[in-house]
Amino acid sequence: MVIVMKLDATAEDIGKVEEKLNEYGYQGHLIRGVERIVIGAVGDKNRELVMASLETLAKVEKVVPIVSPYKLVSQEVKKEKTRIDLGDGVVIGGEEIVVMAGPCAVENEQRLCETAEKVAAAGASILRGGAFKPRTSPYSFRGLEEEGLKLMARARARTGLKIVTEVVNPQDVSLVAEYADVLQVGARNMQNFSLLRELGKQERPVLLKRGLSATIEEWLMAAEYIFSEGNYNVILCERGIRTFEHYTRNTLDISAIPLANMHSHLPVIADPSHSSGERRIVPALSRAAIAAGADGLLVEVHPQPEQALCDGPQSLTPGEFNLLMKDLREIARVCGRSMVPAAI
Amino acid sequence: MVIVMKLDATAEDIGKVEEKLNEYGYQGHLIRGVERIVIGAVGDKNRELVMASLETLAKVEKVVPIVSPYKLVSQEVKKEKTRIDLGDGVVIGGEEIVVMAGPCAVENEQRLCETAEKVAAAGASILRGGAFKPRTSPYSFRGLEEEGLKLMARARARTGLKIVTEVVNPQDVSLVAEYADVLQVGARNMQNFSLLRELGKQERPVLLKRGLSATIEEWLMAAEYIFSEGNYNVILCERGIRTFEHYTRNTLDISAIPLANMHSHLPVIADPSHSSGERRIVPALSRAAIAAGADGLLVEVHPQPEQALCDGPQSLTPGEFNLLMKDLREIARVCGRSMVPAAI
Amino acid sequence: MVIVMKLDATAEDIGKVEEKLNEYGYQGHLIRGVERIVIGAVGDKNRELVMASLETLAKVEKVVPIVSPYKLVSQEVKKEKTRIDLGDGVVIGGEEIVVMAGPCAVENEQRLCETAEKVAAAGASILRGGAFKPRTSPYSFRGLEEEGLKLMARARARTGLKIVTEVVNPQDVSLVAEYADVLQVGARNMQNFSLLRELGKQERPVLLKRGLSATIEEWLMAAEYIFSEGNYNVILCERGIRTFEHYTRNTLDISAIPLANMHSHLPVIADPSHSSGERRIVPALSRAAIAAGADGLLVEVHPQPEQALCDGPQSLTPGEFNLLMKDLREIARVCGRSMVPAAI
Amino acid sequence: MVIVMKLDATAEDIGKVEEKLNEYGYQGHLIRGVERIVIGAVGDKNRELVMASLETLAKVEKVVPIVSPYKLVSQEVKKEKTRIDLGDGVVIGGEEIVVMAGPCAVENEQRLCETAEKVAAAGASILRGGAFKPRTSPYSFRGLEEEGLKLMARARARTGLKIVTEVVNPQDVSLVAEYADVLQVGARNMQNFSLLRELGKQERPVLLKRGLSATIEEWLMAAEYIFSEGNYNVILCERGIRTFEHYTRNTLDISAIPLANMHSHLPVIADPSHSSGERRIVPALSRAAIAAGADGLLVEVHPQPEQALCDGPQSLTPGEFNLLMKDLREIARVCGRSMVPAAI
């Protein structure tokens, strides 16, 4: 870190900074600039605490961090992309683009299985579907809970698709892990650290959605939480950030995809449905995400969007999804990637 | 709600909207505008679902909600401000401004008790202090947990201050409720619905911090969650929202105070410490919050900020806090409110 | 527009709203909802003024607009995309993707011509280069002004490329129009209405960058300003919006591309260089923009980025640009578009 | 500035950075950290250019600026607050809080003079009123232009109030300066550098509104533009920034007031009307701004808000304004400031 002193800092003020640095086992290097003195501090213990402590000293203008706070998820630690192997040839972070599709919420067996069959036929490898639904209003449908998980498992048995579903409570982690192939952390829980730690203690891969107002650095720090407990299977999912624009529900931060690829070794996918909230632009965003280097997509598909108990306006019909998959296959190929062929 | 049809909607398209409205028990009223047709829909069941369903129909341009989604916390339901009585004369939402002060994290008994005595002497009524700390980095100090709660209780016994502390996990609610007078929900957990529901099922008052990117409407909806489970003792706390500005850690949304007072009957307080992250502007923000109509404040105070294990740069010293309290007392009086006199 | 009355509005309050509507030549349609009364107002004169006036009346909760405020640029007025023909086969908004490339600022003849030749060889059709530079600091290089325009014209003569350059002052419009094929409005001037009106009074096409905090609606309204003075040749340019994320200079709002295509008939291009400020992600963003449906790109290219007087860190070298163009040609083809072949 | 090298930077990479620094007349100081090498660079010429140039070199991770880019407006250059004396005892930045009030737009002589007399009687010192109005829609009322300026001058003659009015075009500066005591730069023009330079070349004080998405640093840089041309009379005006919150038109950044006071010597005022767009919270925001240390306010007042040609919903009536002024006088006194007594 670099400590910038105020213009009127005296030798005594600087002495106090150096003393404090020594106290924490750091070494200070004084640089006299044209306008002011800065101190380069060398050390690596308790960085956050040391920075905060220095900031409170007299005549310290600011303390500037030099290294990023994440370690294990950083590309500096591991260059090659992490491959998350779900078995049966489904690998996230490999050469193949992996598409996860399905309804926002699991509603009933018939609809779920119908959707599962159709998205499988179009080339999806993973079925998405919410059994535990975090909802802004206490009066909205909150999901079928364990019954929903069972329906997901039945759809898997029938189609061979893997399944991904959200977990919202640390207490439910082991239950959801019994059923799901991938455990999803929703945007509103990205900094639910109790939940992250619980997910770090088990083995199922975790799909970590970026929070609505999380910086990319905070998103990687959330992944670091899971890593720090021992689970190294994390998939990043960009799902839009909150901005002032109101033609879309959120703003898909397309730059987050190449940036995550640049800073981290984790696979990164995009959710064009939640980021836009608008079915009509989901295909354009899906194509853009793959072109930007995403390793996969999470797309909402519902056989009758106008009957959906949740997020109908952003769901594609199976027919629309099938058309989109054809486009994506072309884009993937151009980008040097492949995709599962459609059965139809 | 109002359904706006596209310019080229046909009689058939409109018929389908009316049919769908009837199906949900709503009545439609057709208005032929100069440029397009809009349909006013009258009904009150499953609003969110009905809106989503209509949005997916052909030739529907958009569906505009008319009423706010919160009910129980709304001023339309209850005009007079909710008073939250903690006993021993400490009432939040009454004529008196209530100040909560103390360290970010509980560190050890001696420091905590020293701080408690000093903030009590300056006129604070409630001691704040974190035992369970949500931290962005897995490598930061996470709090003393139950040991911290015990220290808080000891400080209460010694000073007569009430205590407020954060709970981060639904499983810990009953434990924290054994010790604390007020349970705090942090900004990152404002939409941790499992936690909100658990808090709604018990009786302790809840201090609900606004999320970093939560709209005022979502904040009131989070309070509605707690109400909907039966706990009507909720205190709103504005603690800054995330914006592009980087001279402060967050942007204190001062307008949220009069707006919460206008839309809701809940008491509202401000946290000038977390919103700014900068000790030097905490006094100005504190004065502003009271002048804007806040019912109280949550302020970080630490006897030696440069030794603090957490958030030193934003903590006032007891001396600075005492000076601030003198100013606030004057502002409160001018605003027709009172404050506990200082013992010193 | 729809007028929502407060819960406790009386017949008299409603009468006043209806009176005011009649005064402005509007008709009111009363709808009694379950909870409150709303009034649908039919009319089309002075909408903004009428809305503001109604909002100030007693017991009016809010006034909700129904139609978008832009008219001439809306797809409701004209379905087919506007084609902007610059001559010599360069058409923006046609089947062909058009790439504009060049340095941030014009620096000297030799560098400019070298760049021009290289981007032309790689398949660009238009040379970009700033002669008048708006800079955040008064101490930064502000461009060569008219001398810069002359150098641009010379590069055009040598390469056959069309040229686009920024105009920052209403007084300079006619001067810049003498030299440039397309006049650019920078993000900071998107709501410089004096400049927009001046550009509307002349005939050169205008490339209108979206403001850093402009909604898509405001961006279309800025285009409407130019239209309203008689110039119908406007190209929209998404160049990133300001958000809390700081790994990029701005956040490219990729959704703005399909949304502009959905709401307007104007061609829309993207600027991946300014939106990111980071050369390493420019290729990914460029591919994404074309995949999302952009009609073209505006890319910064500089032969020696480390010598650039402006924006070096976001400039591609000619070699990097050439590689990118190869990728784009593939993506364009997959999206049913074409691109000028490279000469090299 | 501090140059942070990548983990794998070689001696040769570092050599190139040092060479480049020398080329620009800077000295480099190498610090070997635990994880990576950083280079402290000492020098003060062409900082922005040097930083950009270094960022493009191989194996440079990032370049971190150490000093703020503004100089003349900084408190490091001048400690005591700038006092702007408009004559007749009206001084902005002195001990007295100065209130500017009046209609959004000048509409006609009778209404303007009625408003002027009433705000003067309530204790305002300066009349505000727009003659040139920047409007989002080309179809909205754009002001009476020079006729409006004449009416403002007449109201000044009648009441003794000073006048402040907006200028939107560099060409109009000298015209507006003939009539106005203070020239206002609107939020949308904060980075209209042609306008800023023109204002820097004349002598009238300038009221500089913060842009909707401008950082405090950019706002101070815009003031620096005016200073750099020779005009040292600049008043900063916080008027709300754009955020995701939609219960208000913009978010008043109350922290900007103490921060501007901390970083700069310029007087700073607040505009509670434009920042909120909502009359009902204007009094609370006004009180908060004074409590936070503002040197004055800019408030919209209209005798019949429902008849206003612009911004009626956010305008106070003269009666409401008079009540607010009584409150403000009390708050000012508590904050050690004074205010002109009311005549009524």
Whole-angstrom distance, CA of residue B90 vs CA of residue A287: 58
Q: C109: how many CB neighbours lie within 10 A of its CB?
A: 14
Decide: C30 and C37 in contact? Cβ < 8 Å: yes
Record the pTM: 0.95
Give the pLDDT of residue A154: 97
Give the pLDDT of residue B139: 84
pLDDT bin (cut points 50, 70, 90) of residue A344 is low
B278's CB contacts (< 8 A; 6+ apart) are B248, B249, B313, B314
Burial of A34 (0-12, 13-18, 19+ CB in 10 A): exposed
List pLDDT tens digits, range B110-149: 999 999 999 999 999 999 999 998 888 888 888 999 999 9
Q: How many residues does chain A have?
A: 344
- What mean pLDDT comes out for the span B89-107? 96
Check whether C344 has a pLDDT greater than 70: no
List the single residue in D with minimal CA-CA distance to A29.
Answer: D31
Whole-angstrom distance, CA of residue A22 vs CA of residue A12: 15
Q: Beta partners for D101?
A: D127, D299
CA distances from D69 to A33, C236, D4, D45, D215 (A): 15, 32, 20, 12, 13
DSSP string, C167-236: --SGGGHHHHHHH-SEEEE-GGGTT-HHHHHHHHTS-S-EEEEPPTT--HHHHHHHHHHHHHTT---EEE
ipTM at complex level: 0.94
Q: SS3 sequence, B207-255?
A: EEECCCCCCHHHHHHHHHHHHHCCCCCEEEEECCECCCCCCCCCECECC
Residue C60 token pair: 């009016």
Of B217, B244, B255, the CB nearest to D281: B255
- Residue pairs between chains A and D whose CB atoms are closer than 8 Å: 60
Give the pLDDT of residue C7: 85
Which chain B residues touch D257 with a CB distance below 8 Å?
284, 288
Check whether A6 has a pLDDT greater than 70: yes
- What mean pLDDT comes out for the span C51-55? 88
Helix, strand, or coil here: A241?
strand
List pLDDT tens digits, range A245-282: 999 999 999 999 999 999 999 999 999 999 999 999 99
D157's CB contacts (< 8 A; 6+ apart) are none
From A106-115, A186-195, D30-39, D261-270, the region with the lowest mean pLDDT: D30-39
| B neighbours by CB contacts (3+ pairs under 8 Å) | A, C, D
In chain D, helix, strand, coil percent, each to 5? 40, 20, 40
Give the pLDDT of residue D344: 61
Whole-angstrom distance, CA of residue C203 vs CA of residue C183: 10
Decide: B160 and B154 in contact? Cβ < 8 Å: no
Whole-angstrom distance, CA of residue A60 vs CA of residue A13: 8
Helices (H) and strands (E) in chain C, counts: 11, 15
Rg over alpha carbons for chain A, rounded to the nearest Å, is 23
Decide: A300 and A270 in contact? Cβ < 8 Å: no
Decide: B40 and B31 in contact? Cβ < 8 Å: yes
Whole-angstrom distance, CA of residue B163 vs CA of residue B200: 19
Cα-to-chain-centroid distance, residue D301: 20
Cα-to-chain-centroid distance, residue D255: 14
Decide: C256 and C264 in contact? Cβ < 8 Å: no
Q: B51: how many CB neighbours lie within 10 A of its CB?
A: 18
| Share of residues in chain A with pLDDT > 90 (%) | 77
Decide: B163 and B180 in contact? Cβ < 8 Å: yes
Whole-angstrom distance, CA of residue B303 vs CA of residue B111: 7
Is D213's CB within 8 Å of B280's CB? no
Strands B206-209 and D37-42: unpaired
- What mean pLDDT comes out for the span A207-214? 97
Residue B99 token pair: 């100040």
D319's CB contacts (< 8 A; 6+ apart) are none
pLDDT bin (cut points 50, 70, 90) of residue C309 is confident
Of C137, C211, C307, the CB nearest to D221: C137
Decide: B291 and D285 in contact? Cβ < 8 Å: no
DSSP string, B265-288: -S-EEE-HHHHH--GGGHHHHHHH
From B40-54, C311-325, D242-256, the region with the lowest mean pLDDT: B40-54
Q: Beta partners for D30?
A: D39
Give the pLDDT of residue D48: 82
Q: Could you give the residue ranges of the DSSP H alpha helices within chain A?
A: 11-23, 47-55, 109-122, 146-159, 173-179, 193-200, 216-228, 256-263, 272-276, 282-291, 318-334
Give the pLDDT of residue B186: 97
Whole-angstrom distance, CA of residue B232 vs CA of residue B259: 20
Residue C128 token pair: 């970009």
Is D243's CB within 8 Å of B243's CB? yes
List pLDDT tens digits, range D147-194: 999 999 999 999 999 999 999 999 999 999 999 999 999 999 999 999
Convert B84-99 to b/e letters by CB count within 10 Å (16 or more is b).
bebeeebbbbbebbbb
How many alpha carbons lie under 13 Å from residue B283 in its C-beta half-sphere? 18
List pLDDT tens digits, range C33-46: 887 888 988 888 88
Note the maximum CA span of chain B: 77
List pLDDT tens digits, range B195-211: 999 999 999 999 999 99
Give the pLDDT of residue A76: 85
Of A246, A280, A287, the CB nearest to C292: A287
D227's CB contacts (< 8 A; 6+ apart) are D72, D73, D200, D234
Whole-angstrom distance, CA of residue B76 vs CA of residue B70: 10
List pLDDT tens digits, range A162-208: 999 999 999 999 999 999 999 999 999 999 999 999 999 999 999 99
Strands B37-42 and B2-5: antiparallel
Q: How many residues does chain D have?
A: 344
- Residue pairs between chains C and D whose CB atoms are closer than 8 Å: 124
Interface of D with B (CB under 8 A): 213, 215-217, 241, 243-248, 251-259, 262-263, 275-276, 280-281, 284-285, 287-293, 327, 330-331, 334-335
CA distances from D215 to A11, A321, B5, D269 (A): 33, 42, 40, 16
Decide: A284 and C292 in contact? Cβ < 8 Å: yes
Sheet (strand A60-64) strand order: A27-32, A37-42, A2-5, A60-64
pLDDT bin (cut points 50, 70, 90) of residue C243 is very high
All domains in chain B, ordered by first residue: 2-64 (3.30.70.1140), 84-339 (3.20.20.70)
List pLDDT tens digits, range D298-343: 999 999 988 888 888 899 999 999 999 999 999 999 999 999 888 7
List the single residue in A with minimal CA-CA distance to D76.
Answer: A7
Strands C338-339 and C96-102: parallel
Element (H, E) at B185: strand B182-185
Phi, psi angle pair for C113, to nearest 5°: -70, -40
Phi, psi angle pair for B250, to nearest 5°: -140, 175
Note the maximum CA span of chain C: 77
- What mean pLDDT comes out for the span D117-143? 92
Decide: D302 and D103 in contact? Cβ < 8 Å: yes
Q: A201: how many CB neighbours lie within 10 A of its CB?
A: 13
Give the pLDDT of residue B183: 98
- What mean pLDDT comes out for the span C247-253? 96
| Share of residues in chain C with pLDDT > 90 (%) | 77
List pLDDT tens digits, range D193-214: 999 999 999 999 999 999 999 9
Which chain C residues touch B43 with a CB distance below 8 Å?
34
Check whether A58 has a pLDDT greater than 90: no
Of residues A241 and A49, which shows the higher confidence score? Answer: A241
Whole-angstrom distance, CA of residue B195 vs CA of residue B168: 8
List pLDDT tens digits, range A73-92: 999 889 999 999 999 999 99
List pLDDT tens digits, range C123-157: 999 999 999 988 888 888 889 999 999 999 999 99
Check whether B344 has a pLDDT greater than 70: no
Check whether D94 has a pLDDT greater than 80: yes
Of residues A312 and A189, which shows the higher confidence score? Answer: A189
> A189 vs chain B: nearest CA distance in angstroms?
7
> C308 vs chain B: nearest CA distance in angstroms?
28
- What mean pLDDT comes out for the span C74-98? 95
Residue B124 token pair: 């604070």
Q: Beta partners for B126?
A: B100, B162
Of D243, D263, D280, the CB nearest to B241: D243
Check the CA dihedral C259-C264-C269-C275 and report its sign: negative
Of B163, B159, B157, the residue nearest B127 (C-alpha): B163
Interface of B with D (CB under 8 A): 213, 215-217, 241, 243-248, 251-259, 262-263, 275-276, 280-281, 284-285, 287-293, 327, 330-331, 334-335
